[in-house]
Chains A and B, each alone.
Chain A
Amino acid sequence: MSADDNRPIWPRNLGYITAALAIAAFPLLIANAFYIHVAQTLFYTAVAVIGLNLLLGLSGQMSLGQAGFYAIGAYGSALLSSQLGWPLALAMPAGVVLAGLAGLVVGLIALRTRGLYLAMATLAFGFIVEITAQRWIDLTGGTMGVFGIPALDFGSRSMGKTYFLWVAGGVYLAAQILSDYVFASRYRRNLLALKENESSARTAGINVPLWRTVVFAVSAVAAGVAGAFFTHQSAYINSDAFTLNLTLTMLIATVIGGLGASYGPIIGTLITLLIAELIASLYDVSFLIYGVILLAVLLLFPQGAIGLLQKAAGLLRPAARQRGPRPDADAPAAALAPRVERKPGGEGPALVIDNVSKSYSGVTALANVTARIERGTVHALIGPNGAGKSTLINVVSGLYAADSGHIMLDGRDITRLPSYARTRLGLARTFQSLQLVPSLTALENVMIGIRRRRGAAADFVAWATTARFDSMERSRAFQLLDQFGISHVAGARPEDLPYGHRKLVELARAIAEEPAVMLLDEPIAGLNDEEARQISCVIRRIRDEGTTILLVEHNMDFVMNLSDRVTVLDYGECIAEGTPAQVRTNRRVITAYLGVGLEAEREAAAVAT
Chain B
Amino acid sequence: MISAANFIQLLLSGLAMGAIYALTAKGLFISHLATSRMNFGQGEFLMIAAYLSMALILAGVPVLAAAVVVIAALGMLGWMLERFAIRPLDRLRSLAGGQYSWVLTTLGVALIIQNVATLVWGKSSQYSPPLFSESRSNVVHLFGVGVFVEELLVILTALLVVALFYWLLFRTRQGRAIYAVAYNPETAALLGVDVRRTVTLVFVLAAVLAGISGILVGPIVTVQPHMGLVFTVKAFAVASLGGFANPLGVLAGALIFGITESFSNYLNSKFGDLFPLLIVLALLIIKPSGLFGEAKTDVR
* A binding-site residues for B, Cβ under 8 Å: 56-57, 60, 62, 64, 108-109, 112-117, 119-121, 123-125, 127-128, 131-132, 135-136, 195, 198-199, 244, 248, 251, 255, 258-261, 284-288, 290-295, 298-299, 302-304, 307, 399-400, 431, 433, 435, 438
Contacts and interface: CB of A to CB of B under 8 A. Distances in A.
Contacts of A195: 99
A294 B101 CA distance: 10
Nearest to A60: B99
Contact of B100 (A62, A117, A124, A431): A62
5 contacts: A56-B97, A57-B96, A113-B288, A121-B240, A284-B119
Nearest to A493: B94
B108 A294 contact: yes
Give the dominant DSSP class at A's interface: helix
Interface string B261-286: 00000000011011001101100110
Given A108-B285, A127-B233, A248-B111, A64 B103 contact: yes
Interface stretch (B85-93, B136-144, B166-174): B85-93
B133 interface: no
A285 B101 contact: no
A431 B299 CA distance: 12
A128 B277 contact: yes
B300 interface: yes
Size bracket of the B interface: 35 or more
Contact of B112 (A115, A116, A117, A288): A288
A524 to B, nearest CB: 20
B300 A199 contact: yes
Nearest to A294: B108
B95 A295 contact: no
A62 B106 CA distance: 14
B97 A57 contact: yes
Contacts of A285: 115, 119
Contacts of A286: 115
Contact of A132 (B36, B112, B271, B298): B271
Interface string B241-274: 0000000000000000000000000000011011
B107 to A, nearest CB: 6
- Among A114, A251, A307, A438, residue most surrounded by chain B Cβ atoms (within 10 Å): A251
Nearest to A299: B88
Nearest to B38: A116
B58 interface: no
A472 B111 CA distance: 50
A113 B107 contact: no
Given A112-B285, A127-B233, A127-B277, A295 B119 contact: no
B284 A113 contact: yes
B189 interface: no
Nearest to B41: A291
Contacts of B98: 302
B95 to A, nearest CB: 5
Closest 9 CB pairs of A and B: A294-B108, A291-B111, A259-B97, A291-B112, A288-B115, A287-B115, A120-B236, A260-B96, A112-B288
Contact of A435 (B101, B274, B300): B300
Contacts of B278: 128
A299 B115 CA distance: 21
B109 interface: yes
A12 B59 CA distance: 66
Given A131-B274, A292-B108, A121 B284 contact: yes
Nearest to A438: B94
A290 B119 contact: no
Interface string B61-101: 00000000000000000000000010011001011111111
A503 B216 CA distance: 58
Contact of B95 (A127, A293, A302, A435): A302
A119 B103 contact: yes
B105 interface: yes
A213 to B, nearest CB: 12
A294 B111 contact: yes
B229 interface: yes
B97 A124 contact: no
Contacts of A303: 95-96
B109 A295 contact: yes
B233 A291 contact: no
A115 B101 CA distance: 12
Contacts of A64: 40, 103, 107
Nearest to A304: B96
B213 interface: no
A298 B105 contact: yes
Contacts of A125: 281
Given A251-B104, A288-B111, A132 B274 contact: yes
A251 B118 CA distance: 23
A287 B95 contact: no
Given A119-B100, A132-B271, A294-B107, A198 B298 contact: yes
B5 interface: no
Contacts of A116: 32, 36, 38
B100 A56 contact: yes
- Among A115, A288, A307, residue most surrounded by chain B Cβ atoms (within 10 Å): A288
Given A117-B284, A284-B115, 19 more contacts: A56-B97, A109-B284, A120-B240, A121-B240, A121-B281, A128-B278, A131-B273, A255-B97, A285-B119, A286-B115, A291-B111, A294-B104, A295-B105, A295-B109, A298-B101, A299-B89, A302-B97, A302-B101, A438-B94
Contacts of B89: 298-299
B181 interface: no
Interface string B34-47: 00101010000000
B281 A124 contact: yes
A481 to B, nearest CB: 24
Nearest to B289: A113
B111 A290 contact: yes
A222 to B, nearest CB: 18
A291 B108 contact: yes
Contacts of A119: 40, 100, 103
A260 B111 contact: no
A224 B100 CA distance: 24
Contacts of B115: 284-288, 291
A244 B44 CA distance: 14
Nearest to A105: B285
B110 interface: yes
B13 interface: no
B116 interface: yes
A287 B111 contact: yes
B198 interface: no
Contacts of A287: 111-112, 114-115, 118
B105 A248 contact: no
B24 interface: no
- Among A60, A108, A123, A135, residue most surrounded by chain B Cβ atoms (within 10 Å): A123
B176 to A, nearest CB: 22
A115 B298 CA distance: 13
A113 B245 CA distance: 14
A376 B94 CA distance: 42
A261 B95 CA distance: 12
Contacts of A135: 270-271
A568 B89 CA distance: 47
B88 to A, nearest CB: 5
Nearest to A254: B97
B53 interface: no
A295 B273 CA distance: 32
A382 to B, nearest CB: 22
A295 B284 contact: no
A587 B260 CA distance: 66
A480 to B, nearest CB: 24
Contacts of B271: 131-132, 135-136
A259 B85 CA distance: 19
Contact of B105 (A56, A112, A299): A299
B96 A258 contact: yes
A366 B289 CA distance: 27
Given A290-B111, A291-B109, A298-B89, A124 B233 contact: yes
